[in-house]
Amino acid sequence: MNWCFFKNNGGQESGFHDAGVETFKGNLERYLAREIIQNSLDARDNPKKPVLVKFELLQLKTSDVPDTKSLRSTFRRCADYWPQDAKATEFFQRAEALTEEKTITVLKVGDYNTKGVVGGDADRDKGWYNLIRCSGSSAKWAGEGGSFGIGKNAPFAASRLRVVLYSTVTKDNKLAFQGVARLVSHELGGNDTAQPIGYLGDDAGASVRSKKAIPPLFQRNKPGTDLFILGYDNHGSWEKDLIYSVLENFWPAIHFGDLEVEVQNTKITKKNLEKLLDEYKDEPDFGGHLFYKAFTDSQATKYTDKLPILKQVDVRLIIGDGLPRKVAMVRRTGMIIYYKKFHSPLQFCGVFLCHNKTGNNTLREMEPPRHDDWNPNHPEKNAHRKTESEYLTYLRECIRKLAPTDKEKEIAIPDLANWLPDDEDSTEESFDGEDASKKESFQRQPVERTLAGRNLSLSRRQMQPDETQPGDGDFDTEIGGSEDGSGGSEKGNDNDGDEGSRTGGGGGNDAANTAPDKGKGDGKNAKPAIQIRGRVFVSNVTTGTYIVMARPLKPVKDDVHLSIKAIGDDASGTAVSIASATIDGQTTVPIVRAGVIGPVRLDVDKSLAVTITLVEPRKLAMEVVAHAAE
């Protein structure tokens, strides 16, 4: 058995900073546990029994590792080939020194009640080929945990040699053994350069398939797979850090009875899960015990609903002092993908679980290689914006239901109706007791407004001199719109949204867009603005739904694009991200780009009403501008 590094044959060379390995640096135990356990859960054999994953720290004789002499000389050549890279030189010099010692630290990770890794060295559609012979590929099918083939690099990030040995036995008692080194391009001899990936095995780097040829230390007797991470960093807290990671990331799978984990002498099962979670509750940033309680407490508030995209989902929430205002996001594997932070006056925590196959597959597509987020722009920009909006909106609704509105604290503000749209579902009670009930209509007539001292031009959005008289500029605005169009600024906490700042105070923005055409519209439109009377007001803050009203001042022959922007305190406009736009809830209006919809037809005799839904529900003041369709 020997190490084999193939010739590069004039191909591209590879340096020390391997993207697959670098992905998992930083918190090795966290990603090591997540990636290995997830792979083991995917290979589960008997669904009625849990998968068992064992982490064992071993001290092996260096001579028990096959062909360490050849590996040592390879480390030396790697260091010599990259003298300009100080980190590479230091790493390979240390690796060479480790192989000269009599013993070597090895982390062995084995799984049980799994199927083993099937396939030969050339079976491209099987697990063995994708694990050993291929980068950036996975043989997993839809519904499983991983999908990129990147997670298999996590063990290399934990090796001070970048060397991992694999030993597997399949259900039909076929076995395989192979060593893999992920190094750098280096001199091979005879003016040849070697590829960075090397294989320990039979002739020409083939895997070993004969049990007699596999050293006893690396043989398996039961179906499953063993990983041997050579040169594992045996720091003093490795065991505690791995247990921390297992409890924090996999308590749902353990609670469901799908997983058991053994770290050296500590075994984590469904029976002792609550006890171990309680023991770790005082560890820095640990919160597994809180979310476990939210999911299992009989007093927890429970929601089960069928969403249009994700189908059936389950939410569990509890409230109490000191809770982190976060929701653990979990899908079918029973691994916590990430913790979503929400702003709320309540202190709460909870669990979001999508266990059905359809929703699981959708969420899986949104995950990056480390499987630690649901990214709406993955696998491509805006690919899953609607999905993200769906589950975040649903979670906000669930959180809001924890604290019903206290109607006794509601107050009436004089003349507020002049600046905000009326709620169509309720009457308005004036401060002095007079009946001011009314309904708001899309077709209201504009009313002239004057501000004492200074007048604000809606079309030019700048302050005019004090001597400007009403009527000198364009001051038409409808009741219900903010005259400066800004709506104020609301920072940090919207009581029902997630993290970040929110611009706008709600209500609507209403103005006649009558400024003379100067240039090419808003900078992105190729054609000048069209004079319209436009208005945007909120329909449903929770879902991010707004009504966009537009009517031209003069007949318009061609179709137009409507540009919708959020207006801040400084009257600057920012294009909003729109998830959908419809007319009368039936006709879909295309989304041209961020903040621009159309083409639509405008009628001088009747206002056009377009219902838009934002990608991320927010409370905003907005304006609408029309341009001839590009």
Cα 111 to Cα 119, 120, 543, distances in angstroms: 18, 20, 45
Cβ atoms of 225 and 119 closer than 8 Å: no
Q: Token pair for residue 588?
A: 């879909």
Q: Token pair for residue 348?
A: 């709460």
249-263, 304-318, 502-516 — which is least confidently predicted?
502-516
pLDDT at position 421: 58
pLDDT at position 520: 41
pLDDT at position 570: 56
pLDDT digit string, tens, across residues 468-516: 333 333 333 332 333 333 333 333 334 444 443 333 334 444 444 443 3
Q: Token pair for residue 471?
A: 């009527």
Q: What is the mean pLDDT of residues 575-587?
A: 89
Write the CB contacts of 519 (distance below 8 Å, at least 6 apart in sequence): 528
Comparing 321 with 423, which gets the higher pLDDT? 321
Comparing 232 with 414, which gets the higher pLDDT? 232
pLDDT band with cut points at 50, 70 and 90 for residue 24: low
Mean pLDDT of the chain: 81
pLDDT at position 448: 54
Closest CA to 391 of 376, 377, 412: 376
Cβ atoms of 480 and 440 closer than 8 Å: yes
pLDDT digit string, tens, across residues 322-366: 999 999 999 988 999 999 999 888 899 999 999 999 999 999 999
3-state class of 335 per DSSP?
Answer: coil
Q: How far apart are CA 201 and CA 208, in angstroms?
A: 6
Task: Please state the pTM of the whole predicted model.
Answer: 0.64
161-170, 286-295, 433-442, 480-489 — which is least confidently predicted?
480-489
pLDDT band with cut points at 50, 70 and 90 for residue 152: confident
Residue 74 confidence (pLDDT) above 50: yes
Q: What is the mean pLDDT of residues 425-451?
A: 46
Cβ atoms of 489 and 619 closer than 8 Å: no
pLDDT at position 586: 84
For residues 478-489, b (16+ Cβ closer than 10 Å) or e, as one string? bbbbbbbbbbee
Q: What percent of the chain has pLDDT over 90?
A: 56
pLDDT at position 411: 62
Q: What is the mean pLDDT of residues 129-158?
A: 65
Residue 414 confidence (pLDDT) above 70: no
Rounded to 5°, angle at Cα 438 from 434 and 441: 155
pLDDT digit string, tens, across residues 175-206: 999 999 999 999 987 778 999 999 999 988 89
Q: How far apart are CA 316 and CA 323, in angstroms?
A: 14
Q: What is the mean pLDDT of residues 576-603?
A: 91
